[in-house]
Structure 1
Amino acid sequence: MQYLLIVIFFVQGIERTWTEKKLTLQTGGSVTIPCHYDRGFIQHKKYWCYHDKAAFNYCSILAYANTTEGKVTVTDNPAQSLFTVTMRDLEEDHTGTYWCAVEIEGIFQLDVTEQLYFTVTSAPAVSVNRNSVSGEEGSSVSVQCLYSAAYQNKHKQWCRSTDWSCYTVGRTYTSQNSTVWISDDGKTFFKVEMSGLKKSDAGWYWCSVGDVQVPVHLTVTEDTGHRTVVVLTVFAGLTLLAGVAFWMWRRKRGSRQSESQKRNTEWEQHNAELSYSSVIFKESKKKLGQRDTEAQQTSLQSEEPVTYSTLTNVKQSP
């Protein structure tokens, strides 16, 4: 039973360990390594481990994710399913074997690891002119992968870190992403050109010469020119809508004023002919005859004054 357990451990270790990468690094410089992991391990602890004799079981944990220990910083990026390790002020005694590791809890399970071997020297055999490049959507970027004379005839590739899909020297690759062209001068460097960048191109790549690799990070930013056009278009549209709204408001207001003016005109026309009333008060002056009786005199004297009203229409001059 003991031997069976040993076999299981060995098999699991082989399945969970990726191909070793070799890097040649400059003394006094720095390097950032991408460590990818399965999304099922997002909640697990990640760490960076070192041993000069390539014995993982005896390696020393230099730093856990989201911490800085001395010259080492480990940063976890769960959204991208990767953590990065940055080592600064490299020295020759930093030469040795390192592991990107995801901690797996359980007696019968090994930690998930990726092995890398660093050679730190004053004259790296393989390097890049820029470890980080950036370009806008639709634009182009280029990277020079430098190599020594001993690597002139080695196989050269530009590989994406997530799935290790690689582009080879002397061929043009056009896909749903950017167009990639790789040319080699055959002496000191090969050049990678990526044109028509898309946001999906962003991420980590490796310059690979023979069995040596160097990491390069690509950032793709939003096209500011396109954004300016969009902003101007939106502004023009809003201005047009505001103009139309103002025109409609003025038209509606003018219509209301016309109706008011029309009503005023009708009222003026209706009242163009004015009516004047003359009121005349007249008393009855009936002449009494000699044969009038005294009673008749009394009755006439008690009569109320009579009022006469005359209406005259006078048309106003225009």
Structure 2
Amino acid sequence: MKIIWTFTLLMIPGVVNSISVTGYSGGGVSITCKYYSEFRENAKYFCKGQPVTCSELIKNKNKNKWVDSGRFSLFDDTRAAVFTVTIRDLSEEDSGTYQCGVDIYAKVDSYTEVNLKVITGQQIRTMTGYSEGNIIINFKYEMQQNNLLIDVCNTEALQCFTLINTERAAEWKHGSRFSVYDDRSEGFLHVFIRDLNVKDSGKYKIIVTVSEDYSFFLEFYLDIKKGEPF
């Protein structure tokens, strides 16, 4: 019996831990997968399903460089011994079990299980505003955690305008021309931008950092026109 039990243990895939992730249709998620430092030089991958038999979605053999494959991106930060997987344009069909995998030659790969739940959300693609005016973006979500970090970024300029800690619900937080109101009773995040100008036009991303394991985000294009609305 002892010999049989030892053989069974060797056949169990190397699942390190498990992450529960919530995303919203039309948006995206970024997942942080930790691994042992001894595997810095190993290839990393992301797949859907159970270990060993899961379907590979993206794999990165290049260290410290982003790799893209359709809606998926992967970056292996070998200094921190973590790799990040980003999924865009989520739909409810993306819900399920995934694996962050480390390719270990001649041995069982190391896995971090990711349980992804995608909730119906808003699919905001374009927001239109007018110079010298204001605009508000309403983002419906269902997170109840405290200490969410709200980051509003201009992705084309690679600049984040504000980093706001919504430790307290139902309270405006201000930064430069941006303000955020986390209305948890209604499940809405309101982002308010003042004193618009045509230079504000571009691609934006609202990032909500839930924990060190993951964040969810909404991407949209902000189109600022000259003059006043009719």
The normalised TM-score by structure 2 is 0.53
1:225: which partner in 2?
none
Secondary structure of residue in 1 paired with 2:52: helix
Structure number, greater radius of gyration: 1
What's the CA shift string for 1:20-65, capped at 9, x where partnerless?
22122110101111111121111111000112xxx22321110012
Secondary structure of residue in 2 paired with 1:130: strand
Whole-angstrom distance in 2 between the partners of 1:97 and 1:81? 23
> 8 Å contact 2:77–2:83 — kept in the other structure?
yes
Whole-angstrom distance in 2 between the partners of 1:142 and 1:129? 5
Matched-pair identity in %: 23
| Shift, 1:186, TM fit | 8.3
1:70: which partner in 2?
70
Whole-angstrom distance in 1 between the partners of 2:151 and 2:39? 28
Closer/same/farther in 2, CA of residues 72 and 185 from structure 1, 3 Å limit: closer
> 8 Å contact 1:49–1:100 — kept in the other structure?
yes
1:165: which partner in 2?
none
- Of 130, 136, 142, the residue aligned with 2:165 is 142
Of residues 87-96 and 64-73 in structure 1, the stretch that sits farther from structure 2 once superposed is 64-73
- Of 38, 41, 47, the residue aligned with 1:40 is 38
2:142: which partner in 1?
125
**Mapping of residues 119-198 of structure 1, within 5 Å:** 119-123=117-121, 124-126=141-143, 130=150, 141-143=164-166, 187=185
> 8 Å contact 1:74–1:86 — kept in the other structure?
yes
Instruction: Note the residue ranges of structure 2 that are not aligned, 5 or more in a row.
Output: 61-65, 122-140, 154-158, 170-181, 188-208, 218-230
Q: Indicate whether 1:29 and 2:17 are aligned.
A: no
| Shift, 1:3, TM fit | 5.1
> 8 Å contact 1:130–1:144 — kept in the other structure?
no
| Shift, 1:129, TM fit | 6.6
| Shift, 1:131, TM fit | 5.6
Instruction: Note the residue ranges of structure 1 that are not aligned, 5 or more in a row.
Output: 147-183, 190-204, 218-318
2:53: which partner in 1?
58
Closer/same/farther in 2, CA of residues 39 and 97 from structure 1, 3 Å limit: same
**Mapping of residues 259-270 of structure 1, within 5 Å:** none
Q: How many residues align?
A: 151
Aligned letter for 2:6? L
| Shift, 1:132, TM fit | 7.2
Closer/same/farther in 2, CA of residues 8 and 56 from structure 1, 3 Å limit: closer
Whole-angstrom distance in 1 between the partners of 2:29 and 2:151? 8
> 8 Å contact 1:27–1:121 — kept in the other structure?
yes
Q: Indicate whether 1:9 and 2:11 are aligned.
A: yes
Whole-angstrom distance in 2 between the partners of 1:33 and 1:86? 6
Whole-angstrom distance in 2 between the partners of 1:131 and 1:20? 26
> 8 Å contact 2:95–2:117 — kept in the other structure?
yes
Aligned letter for 2:57? L
Structure possessing the higher relative contact order (Cα contacts under 8 Å, 6 or more residues apart)? 2
Whole-angstrom distance in 2 between the partners of 1:185 and 1:125? 11
Whole-angstrom distance in 1 between the partners of 2:105 and 2:78? 19
- Of 16, 19, 33, the residue aligned with 1:18 is 16
Whole-angstrom distance in 2 between the partners of 1:93 and 1:144? 32
The normalised TM-score by structure 1 is 0.40
Whole-angstrom distance in 2 between the partners of 1:131 and 1:62? 28
| Shift, 1:119, TM fit | 1.0
Whole-angstrom distance in 2 between the partners of 1:31 and 1:75? 14
